[in-house]
Copies of this chain bind each other. A is one copy, B any other.
């Protein structure tokens, strides 16, 4: 179905049912609500899944989708079912399926050229790469960070940032950019031995998720199934605060817990046998269970990293690009000095790390380098995403809709206290989660009420709607959840 036909197709449905909330819908021709035709997976999906299983591992498959029939906040399957999607490809769809603004960018001559003429950006950048960066990726750079190194995925972004941190730290230890490597460093690096391959580390936190490549996986601590049987670096993990929710009701207890974690972080920075070159942290631990901490905790981390002359890397792969009611979640903290590096991916549909300090450019070329170094096609798409966010004022929207949704969930928590525990994400846009004693059952049942939703950690239901999620979608979600809780 062409995008225009697709919008006509759903527009008739939308006209039939007026949205319950009164705000102006961003996409008036979105489906008015979920459409359920069969159980999920239905017969067409079962057949397709079986076919795919022969060549591709389908054991983690959640739902076989038809993206040509998906639109806005709604994901379609092969059997005519259309679900309200508050999981959004693991928090990676920013402005809706088949978004018309993105479609224009995707069908532009410059996109076609970017796809078929993919450059080795470090050697042969295209003539308009500076413009693409400045009018896109760098336009939304966190305050104080005016440079970027582009990459391919969240894991890749974090590993590139770690590499920058190690090179920076060794340069400081050596005495500056002008001091050359010793022969011993050069020869030992080739055999993976110290000092050329230094015994340094990246400090991360319990329950953290930073990716699944060998370096990033060494900083991931969310679930054993991600890590089992994979060799890892002997890097330290500090405790992430186990806070009580809502955060503001337990301010004193949480402050004590956060101080305990900061103290232990400092001890590890000082004493770990492979000293950290950097601390990496997520503003909200996402895969690890939607764990929050207060701005004071993060300010404390920034202070510790300054005090001990190591770097502070903020992993905004999941929290970034508007979902928390700020463009970057770390804007909520009010830091006095910016993080040293901020990594991004997912909703940006491209990846990389921002930085501001030119010392984070290694002292020689080809130290931070690879063939593609990102992807102009995806950078062009991110630019269109940013334009759409600005056009529809979507960061403001997630703040407003998030508050509306949070209040609705608070009411549900009062009515169904055994179903909604530790509701969290107040003031964090639509980045909301709660614990559920029967989490996996809730996720499964959600499909039968027309909602696609995911979990995080062991017990959390996590909401990761797109930035175009509005109050009338929140109403549908709340209704659907109530049906599940009643059942």
A contact set with B: CB distance below 8 Å: 2, 48, 51-52, 54-68, 70, 75, 78, 89-90, 92-93, 97-99, 102-103, 105-107, 109, 111-113, 115-127, 129-130, 133-134, 138, 146-149, 152-156, 159, 162-163, 166-167, 169-171, 181, 185-187, 189-193, 196-201, 211-216, 218, 221, 224-235, 237, 274, 345-346, 349, 361, 364-372, 377, 381
Q: Which residues of B contact A215 (CB under 8 A)?
A: 213-215, 231
- Report yes or no: A130 in contact with B56, Cβ–Cβ below 8 A: yes
- Report yes or no: B118 in contact with A55, Cβ–Cβ below 8 A: no
Q: Which residues of B contact A235 (CB under 8 A)?
A: 192
Q: Which residues of B contact A231 (CB under 8 A)?
A: 166, 197-201, 215, 233, 274
- Report yes or no: A119 in contact with B56, Cβ–Cβ below 8 A: no
Q: Which residues of B contact A370 (CB under 8 A)?
A: 153, 155, 211-212
Shortest distance between the CB of A23 and any CB in chain B (Å): 25
- Report yes or no: A365 in contact with B59, Cβ–Cβ below 8 A: yes
- Report yes or no: B126 in contact with A65, Cβ–Cβ below 8 A: yes
- Report yes or no: B228 in contact with A367, Cβ–Cβ below 8 A: yes
Q: Which residues of B contact A171 (CB under 8 A)?
A: 229
Chain B residue at smallest Cβ distance from A345: B371
- Report yes or no: B196 in contact with A227, Cβ–Cβ below 8 A: yes
Knowing that A78-B127, A163-B230, A229-B367 are A-B contacts, what are 11 other residue pairs whose CB atoms are under 8 Å apart, sorted by A's residue number? Answer: A2-B109, A61-B122, A62-B123, A66-B127, A89-B119, A92-B372, A106-B111, A153-B370, A163-B212, A189-B228, A190-B224
Shortest distance between the CB of A363 and any CB in chain B (Å): 10
- Report yes or no: B67 in contact with A126, Cβ–Cβ below 8 A: yes
Which of A90, A129, A228, A369 counts the most chain B CB atoms within 10 A? A228
Shortest distance between the CB of A43 and any CB in chain B (Å): 13
Shortest distance between the CB of A419 and any CB in chain B (Å): 24
Q: Which residues of B contact A349 (CB under 8 A)?
A: 118
A458 CA to B67 CA in the complex, in Å?
49
Q: Which residues of B contact A70 (CB under 8 A)?
A: 117
User: What's the number of copies of this chain in the assembled complex?
Assistant: 2
Q: Which residues of B contact A107 (CB under 8 A)?
A: 107, 112
Chain B residue at smallest Cβ distance from A196: B228
Shortest distance between the CB of A147 and any CB in chain B (Å): 6
If A55-B138, A92-B371, A224-B186 touch, whether A232 touches B197 (CB-CB below 8 Å) is yes
Q: Which residues of B contact A62 (CB under 8 A)?
A: 123-124
A103 CA to B198 CA in the complex, in Å?
46
If A130-B51, A152-B156, A213-B159 touch, whether A170 touches B229 (CB-CB below 8 Å) is yes
Which of A181, A192, A196 counts the most chain B CB atoms within 10 A? A192
Chain B residue at smallest Cβ distance from A91: B371
If A186-B228, A224-B190, A231-B166 touch, whether A55 touches B152 (CB-CB below 8 Å) is no
Contact of A152 among B105, B112, B153, B216 (CB under 8 A): B153
Q: Which residues of B contact A129 (CB under 8 A)?
A: 52, 56
If A98-B113, A149-B57, A370-B155 touch, whether A228 touches B181 (CB-CB below 8 Å) is yes
Q: List 18 A-B contacts (CB under 8 A).
A: A54-B130, A55-B148, A59-B364, A60-B123, A61-B124, A61-B125, A63-B124, A89-B123, A163-B212, A167-B228, A181-B224, A187-B224, A189-B230, A190-B227, A192-B227, A197-B227, A197-B230, A225-B366
If A90-B120, A214-B159, A371-B92 touch, whether A130 touches B52 (CB-CB below 8 Å) is yes
Shortest distance between the CB of A483 and any CB in chain B (Å): 23
Shortest distance between the CB of A51 and any CB in chain B (Å): 5
Chain B residue at smallest Cβ distance from A318: B371
Q: Which residues of B contact A120 (CB under 8 A)?
A: 89-90, 92
Chain B residue at smallest Cβ distance from A69: B127
A103 CA to B221 CA in the complex, in Å?
43
- Report yes or no: A229 in contact with B60, Cβ–Cβ below 8 A: no
If A56-B125, A192-B232, A197-B231 touch, whether A116 touches B147 (CB-CB below 8 Å) is no
If A119-B89, A371-B153 touch, whether A60 touches B106 (CB-CB below 8 Å) is no
Shortest distance between the CB of A420 and any CB in chain B (Å): 24
